[in-house]
């Protein structure tokens, strides 16, 4: 069994979307001849989007995990950097974790190291182990870091500072894992050789869908639309963002798409259009819903159509999907002509639930996937009237006794956690064998999705302008 060190700040029992990716990789890596040992954050670290622990994420897997708490005291350099806001996420934790990682490498004798980001300062741990111990280093980017339009900066200078660190990480890593094909193209546009970038997305675990989960939603005859995940704060105006003196992005987005604003607005439009149709709709929200939604819900008068369940375990979220008539999957909007560099992680489990997917998504790999599989309907990410019409259509079909079909799970085999782990195992073998490139087919290619793409805009600092996605 070949040992590999995984630096994963978020790891079970911590819950949340950022935890699931490497929890599932670590569950299945032993099947492919790799023994993961994990370095994660201590119990003092909390994720506001997933404030509760979820020990169900690892299942029965047994993984050696060591944890590092955030230091209580910062160095003078760190305090100065914070005052000037010239720091990367969790600088202090990464500095302390790097010391533990070196000790773990000496004790555990791994043959490679993987750093999964965010927090982005974690890249320094992989770079140090490569420099000091000669370990091959794989950089896993769950989100596209500085190219993430959700990630905004105080000034242009701060934006360039973060981008410089991203470029440094991309330059020094032996291999870079992109979460979606569009992000992979963006990294290549930044100068990473194509053979060093591999696309391994999030996916779904077949074990989670084994058997028929018990329904956790009442069957009162209404059409049950379920949303899984976080709804961020409703604190932006509708429309595309613009850079200004004290707020800068490498790529502009429409942030309200990542909130419940457009779903709530569509519900309100439906209520005004036909109260009888509206009353056949029951919307269930699972996950953290920012408190700013309360005012919007009251203002739009849609309290009677909503149930907020709060943060639930991953097992309960799967049961919630199984109880749905349709699953709502949103994302931020983009300016005309651009494609998203991310796919919502919740989309893969929504597809695996075999329920109809109602996606409020911009052009990108996620929208392509839903359309290619015939798994649902896609409306523009930030278009309440279009979303209202889609809801109305679903409710009319429901009234006729029709149940809109999703995608058969058998068509999603390339997106199972086991299949995705096999891709990671291939990449690890390439890194350990010191091969300069890895030719690994991504799941979109595996299911025959090779259509033409709108090119990603030139990357900042490459030979042109910008591109991006998200971070809280």
Per CATH, the number for 206-410 is 3.40.50.2000
> What are the boundaries of each domain within the chain?
2-204+415-446, 206-410
Give this prediction's pTM. Answer: 0.92
Q: Domain 2-204+415-446: which topology?
A: Rossmann fold (3.40.50)
Comparing 2-204+415-446 with 206-410, is the CATH topology the same?
Answer: yes
- Kindly report the backbone phi and psi dihedral angles of residue 36, in degrees, each rounded to the nearest multiple of 5, phi listed first: -80, 135
Q: What's the pLDDT at 463?
A: 36
Three-class SS of the chain: CEEEEEEECCCCCECCHHHHHHHHHHHHHHHHCEEEEEEEECCCCCECCECCECHHHHCCCCCEEEEECCCCCCCHHHHHHHHHCCCCCCHHHHHHHHHHHHHHHHHHCCCCEEEEECCHHHHHHHHHHHHHHCCCEEEEECCCHHHCCCCCECCHHHHHHHHHHHHHHHHHCCEEEECCHHHHHHHHHCCCCHHHEEECCCCECHHHHCCCCCCCCCCCCCEEEEEECCECCCCCCCCCCCCECCEECCCCCEHHHHCCHHHHHHHHHHHHHCHHHHCCEEEEEECCECCCHHHHHHHHCCHHHEEEEECCCHHHHHHHHHCCCEEEEECCECCCCCCCCCCCCHHHHHHHCCEEEEEECCCCHHHHHHHHHCCEEEECCCCHHHHHHHHHHHHHHHHCCCCCECCCHHHHHHHEHHHHHHHHHHHHHHHHCCCCCCCCCCHHHHCCCCCCCCCCCCCECCCECCCCCCCC
Q: Residue 306 forms beta bridges with which residues?
A: 283
Question: Which residues in the chain land under pLDDT 70?
Answer: 45-51, 60, 85, 212-214, 450-472
Q: What's the pLDDT at 314?
A: 85
Q: What's the pLDDT at 212?
A: 62
- What is the length of the chain? 472
Dmax (CA) for the chain in angstroms is 68
Which tokens belong to 155? Answer: 């000034």
């Amino acid at each position: 069994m070949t040992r590999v060190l995984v630096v994963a700040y978020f790891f079970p029992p911590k819950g949340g979307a950022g935890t699931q990716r490497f929890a599932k990789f670590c569950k299945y890596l032993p099947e492919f001849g790799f023994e993961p040992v994990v370095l994660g954050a201590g119990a003092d670290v909390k994720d506001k989007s997933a404030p509760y622990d979820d020990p169900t994420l690892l299942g029965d897997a047994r993984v050696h995990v060591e944890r590092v708490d955030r230091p209580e005291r910062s160095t003078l350099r760190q305090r100065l950097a914070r005052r000037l806001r010239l720091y990367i996420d969790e600088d202090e934790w990464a500095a302390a974790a790097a010391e533990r990682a070196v000790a773990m490498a000496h004790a555990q004798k791994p043959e490679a190291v993987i750093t999964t980001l965010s927090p982005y300062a974690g890249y320094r741990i992989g770079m140090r182990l490569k420099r000091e111990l000669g370990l091959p280093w794989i950089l896993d980017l769950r989100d596209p870091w500085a190219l993430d339009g959700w990630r905004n900066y105080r000034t242009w200078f701060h934006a360039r500072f973060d981008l410089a660190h991203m470029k440094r990480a991309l330059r020094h890593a032996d291999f870079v894992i992109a979460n979606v094909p569009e992000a992979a193209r963006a990294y290549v546009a930044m100068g990473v050789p194509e053979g060093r970038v591999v696309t391994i997305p999030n996916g779904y675990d077949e074990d989670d869908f084994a058997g028929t989960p018990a329904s956790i939603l009442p069957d009162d005859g209404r059409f049950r639309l379920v949303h899984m995940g976080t709804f961020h704060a409703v604190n932006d105006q509708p429309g595309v963002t613009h850079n200004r003196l004290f707020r800068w992005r490498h790529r502009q987005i429409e942030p309200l798409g990542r909130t419940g604003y457009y779903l709530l607005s569509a519900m309100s439009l439906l209520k005004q259009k036909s109260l009888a149709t509206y009353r056949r709709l029951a919307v269930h929200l699972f996950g953290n819903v920012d408190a700013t939604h309360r005012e919007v819900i009251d203002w739009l008068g849609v309290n009677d159509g909503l149930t907020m369940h709060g943060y639930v375990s991953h097992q309960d979220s799967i049961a919630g999907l199984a109880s749905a008539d349709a699953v709502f999957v949103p994302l931020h909007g983009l300016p005309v002509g651009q494609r998203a560099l991310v796919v919502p992680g919740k989309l893969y489990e929504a597809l695996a639930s075999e329920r109809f997917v109602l996606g409020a998504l911009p052009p990108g790999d996620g929208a392509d996937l839903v359309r290619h599989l015939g798994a649902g309907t896609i409306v523009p990410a930030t278009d309440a009237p279009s979303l209202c019409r889609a809801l109305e259509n679903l409710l009319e079909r429901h009234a006729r006794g029709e149940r809109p079909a999703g995608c058969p799970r058998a068509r999603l085999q390339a997106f199972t956690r086991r299949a995705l782990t096999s891709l990671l195992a291939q990449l690890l073998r390439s890194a350990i064998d010191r091969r300069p490139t890895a030719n690994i087919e991504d799941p979109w290619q595996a299911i025959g999705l090779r259509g033409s793409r709108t090119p990603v805009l030139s990357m900042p600092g490459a030979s042109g302008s910008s591109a991006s996605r998200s971070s809280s």
